[in-house]
């Protein structure tokens, strides 16, 4: 006795013979040749360029911190490429990290006194 109210299914038929026909595929001409990837990826070149730009812009009020952050992100992504791309990515990462540290130091020692001077001149902080 079944719990569902469906009638009993018909008995299955037994298959006694199966025939398969052969399928052939013919191609004419040649497949286009896939070119080898160029050594070094675009991301590694971008990471290296951002490292150089960030290091060059760091002395200017520390604004090299922003391209340094982008260079670090791109460099870590580009490390997955081929050998030449990995070298470029590592150099870009090194330059970006140096620019980030130096830029942060410049921001702290240049921007903080400027902001404090503004707050004193505006009357928000009393000068001693």
Higher pLDDT among residues 48 and 29, named by residue: 48
Please report the sign of the dihedral spanned by the C-alpha atoms of residue 64, residue 69, residue 73, residue 75: positive
Domain layout of the chain by residue ranges: 42-122
- What span, in angstroms and rounded, lies between the C-alpha atoms of 60 and 106? 9
Phi and psi (nearest 5°) for 43?
Answer: -65, -35
- What span, in angstroms and rounded, lies between the C-alpha atoms of 56 and 125? 35
Higher pLDDT among residues 18 and 10, named by residue: 18
- What span, in angstroms and rounded, lies between the C-alpha atoms of 30 and 123? 80
Range in 7-21, 64-78, 106-120 with the lowest mean pLDDT: 7-21
- What span, in angstroms and rounded, lies between the C-alpha atoms of 95 and 103? 12
Q: Give the end-to-end CA distance of the chain in Å, rounded to a whole number.
A: 97
Please state the rounded mean pLDDT for residues 17-28: 71
Q: Is the pTM of this model over 0.85?
A: no
Give residue-wise pLDDT tens across range 78-121: 988 888 899 999 999 999 999 999 999 998 898 888 888 999 88
Whole-number pLDDT of residue 127: 65
Whole-number pLDDT of residue 94: 97
Whole-number pLDDT of residue 14: 75
In the chain, what percentage of residues exceed pLDDT 90?
A: 41
């Amino acid at each position: 006795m079944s719990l569902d109210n469906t009638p009993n299914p018909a008995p299955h038929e037994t298959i006694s013979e199966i025939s398969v026909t052969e399928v052939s595929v013919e191609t004419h001409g040649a497949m286009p040749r896939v070119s080898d990837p160029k050594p070094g990826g675009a991301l590694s070149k971008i990471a290296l360029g951002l490292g150089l730009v960030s290091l060059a812009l760091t002395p200017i009020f520390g604004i090299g911190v922003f391209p340094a952050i982008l260079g670090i992100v791109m460099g870590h992504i580009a490390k997955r490429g081929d050998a030449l791309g990995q070298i470029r990515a590592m150099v870009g990462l090194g330059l970006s990290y140096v620019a980030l540290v130096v830029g942060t130091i410049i921001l702290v020692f240049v921007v903080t006194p400027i902001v404090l001077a503004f707050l004193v001149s505006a009357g928000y902080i009393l000068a001693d």
